[in-house]
Structure 1
Amino acid sequence: MKRAVVVQAKRTPIGKKGGTFRDIEPHILAAPLLRELSTGITSEIDEIIFGNVVGPGGNIARLTVLESGLPLSVTGMTIDRQCSAGLEAIRTACHFIQGKAGSCYIAGGVESASTSPFPGRARFSPDRLGDPDMGVAAENVAQKYGITKKMQDDYALLSYKRSWNSFREGLYQPEIVEVGEMNIDECFYKERDLEKLLKRAKPIFCKEAGTVTAANSCGINDGAAAVLVMEEKLAKEHNMKPVLRFADSIVSGVHPDYPGISPVRAIHSLLNRNGLSIKDIDLFEINEAFASKIVACAQELSIPYEKLNVSGGALTTGHPYGASGAILVTRLFYEVQRRKGMKYVLASIGSAGGVGLAVLFEVTE
């Protein structure tokens, strides 16, 4: 079987909705990534696969190819699996390589909430099942799994400190491709007293018995991320070092009232199929859309926080929907190179409608 490996990973800085990237359309935002990741390998690229959620519609992957100046022969495919779209793009590229459909892909995602032409969200589920907004769904998870506001606030504060420590230590810089004059995530322009904000923040989705607040939830953001995925033999022929080797992936569904818990089923099934346990995984990256989701997933799977989102995540830096899954893999790509003795790492994300996706990687020696 052909083996798919990640040999490079990059992302843009993450901007706030209405912030620095407010006038930059998604194909323009993502084009620098394609130029960076295709350097020296342009002739081998089979296709660009990108996730996107909030528009403007059309085939953004192909549009980005044309914007970037890649050869006209390079095609593009755009995927919408809601928040897991960017991770799905990477998963798809890996399976294409395994199935001998191609040998070299740039895969990831892009989102520009600032320029989205859609004033409201899409439908996630039929009314007969329930179609909650994601904040209400986060409350549903908190209530069902006994996740208190204190548990959420404690995790949010931990994540915030990890993100700021990573920023100060320069750990994010290798990930980032500069866009215009912006080379850091917009959240790092000014540090907040999050501990004070967490104490003051009131529930915003369920006023009476709610636990989810603006301080323990992610923001709405603009950004892009992508990885270069190649067939392992081809990568070595081009003197490109494999860092992550695709091992397996699973997508699974849960009730749409509880999308935040969907990574649990996906991760559990994925580990079982591969004869692995939580203890066998060295690092987990699970998207931090809401603290309630992360705490519930960690609790249900018995994932120690020491292995989970170790350099911070979306609660601080933000959640550019279609790109977030690719940001998880980008983070793992650099984390394993800073550490010794890594064997397995895992990226997972939950999506509106109750879809969970998990991807398992082996760390190459």
Structure 2
Amino acid sequence: MKKVAIVSAYRSAIGSFGGSLKDIEIADLGAQVLETALASKNIPADSVDEVIFGNVLSAGQGQNIARQIAIRAGIPQTASAYAVNKVCGSGLKSVLLAAQSIMLGDNDVVVAGGIEIMSQAPYLSKTSRFGSKFGHITLEDSMLTDGLTDAFNDYHMGITAENVAERYQVSRAEQDAFTYSSQEKAAKAIAEGRFVDEIVPIRLKNRKGETIFATDEYPRLTPIEKLATLRPSFKKDGTVTAANASGINDGCAVLVLMSDEKANELNIQPLAYIEAYATSGLDPALMGLGPITASQKALQKLNKTVEDIDLFELNEAFAAQSIPVVKQLGIDPAKVNVNGGAIALGHPIGASGSRILVTLIHELIKQEKELGLCSLCIGGGQGISLIVSNAQTS
């Protein structure tokens, strides 16, 4: 099979819920990031065979958001495009699908990414089409129903985090300490400009003209003493709070993949290579543990152990699940989310898989490290993991 290279990796800054990205047209956001991903590496738009985007909250966006982004970014109409929904794993699944199509020779160049504007998730009325004969009409929050509620147990993702915390005896103090560390690392990374190389400044139009959005706006470094005063969000006697859970956010990330032969033909220096990947399933009530088996399977494919991996980007859905994932895999915490994770930076669900991969690749290059692993838990009880190598050290 063909060797797959990642030759470009960019993202937008992550917006807060109701923040800077709340009014941008979603296809415009995706197109701005995609245009930069191509132009920065002099990748001809007409070389792209397919465009794949992870996206979860699709109601009201119009047909096939991946196709909309592709056309708006100048990709020829002859290239195909589709969106994929694997909840929190969507943005990484798009990369795996892109890689598989290149390995099998179906495509030479594929754009993969993820996009989500949770601020624009609409309210739904399932009874309005044929009328309500009597009584109230209820509006359903599509973000809650389609993104944040377990379909099997009919409870919020936060309860699955409480289940994991109870199973592994993860204390509130441990979760708050993990949260403070993530926020501290993110604040330091932003202050030092460690994300600048991976972020595409987004042009935002408003009544006053045009502004630029280029810095993650969700991080908020809160004293650990104040974190301890917050009430549990999902269970009266629980340990999961609004602070030690990931945010509700907006953002986009894009990667360009191609065969190693195509990269040589186009004279493009790869950033990273796809080495191994895996997915897994488990009890939906314990969905936060998904990265454990998925990561173990990916490592086994490569005949590697966690000690062989230099950097990890593990999506921080909740501190309650992140802590046991790190412990059960036996990972050195110093290698995990060195610039902070989703608790600090935010979790635009369909985009997060691509976002953590973009960040991982750039950090591998900065640190001149060889191997990186990224992984996410997935609502409904799944996990997804990918191992990449730094092309500039291989």
Same topology, TM > 0.5 = yes
Equivalence map 1:147-296=2 (5 Å) = 147-180=170-203, 181-187=212-218, 191-208=220-237, 210-296=238-324
Q: Given the alignment, which residue of 100, 104, 111 partners 2:109?
A: 104
Equivalent residues in 2 for 1:1-365 (5 A)? 1-39=1-39, 40-41=42-43, 42-56=45-59, 58-118=63-123, 119-120=141-142, 121-122=145-146, 127=152, 130-180=153-203, 181-187=212-218, 191-208=220-237, 210-340=238-368, 342-364=369-391, 365=393
What's the CA shift for 1:273? 2.7
C-alpha change, 1:114 and 1:106, in structure 2 (3 Å) is: same
**SS of structure 2 residue aligned to 1:22:** coil
Distance (whole Å) between structure 2 residues aligned to residue 245 and residue 256 of structure 1: 32
CA distance in 1, matches of 2:55, 2:225: 35
Question: Contact 1:220/1:319 (CA < 8 Å) preserved in 2?
Answer: yes
**Structure 1 segments unaligned to the other structure (5+ residues):** none
Give the gaps of 5 or more residues in structure 2: 124-140, 204-211
Per the TM alignment, residue 126 of structure 1 is displaced from its structure 2 partner at its CA by 5.6
Q: State the TM-score, normalizing by the size of structure 1.
A: 0.95
The 2-side partners of 1:81 and 1:172 are apart by: 26
1:192-247 CA-to-partner distances (Å, cap 9, x unmatched) read: 43423312111111112x11111111110010001111111211222221121101
- d(CA) in 2 for partners of 1:235, 1:93: 15
3-state SS in 2 of match to 1:242: coil
Secondary structure of 1:227 counterpart: strand
Q: Aligned-pair RMSD on alpha carbons?
A: 1.5
Tell me the secondary structure at the aligned position of residue 292 of structure 2: helix
Secondary structure of the residue that 2:155 maps to in structure 1?
A: coil
CA drift of 1:158 comes to 0.9
CA drift of 1:323 comes to 0.4
Give, as a single letter, the amino acid of the residue that structure 1 aligns with 2:184.
K
| Distance (whole Å) between structure 2 residues aligned to residue 21 and residue 203 of structure 1 | 28
Single out whichever of 66-75 and 284-293 deviates more from structure 2: 66-75
With 135-144 and 112-121 compared, the bigger mean Cα shift is at 112-121
For the 8 Å contact 2:56–2:350, the answer to whether it is kept is: yes
Count, aligned residues: 359
If the length of structure 2 is used for normalisation, what is the TM-score?
0.88
Give the conservation status (yes or no) of the 8 Å contact 2:48–2:75.
no
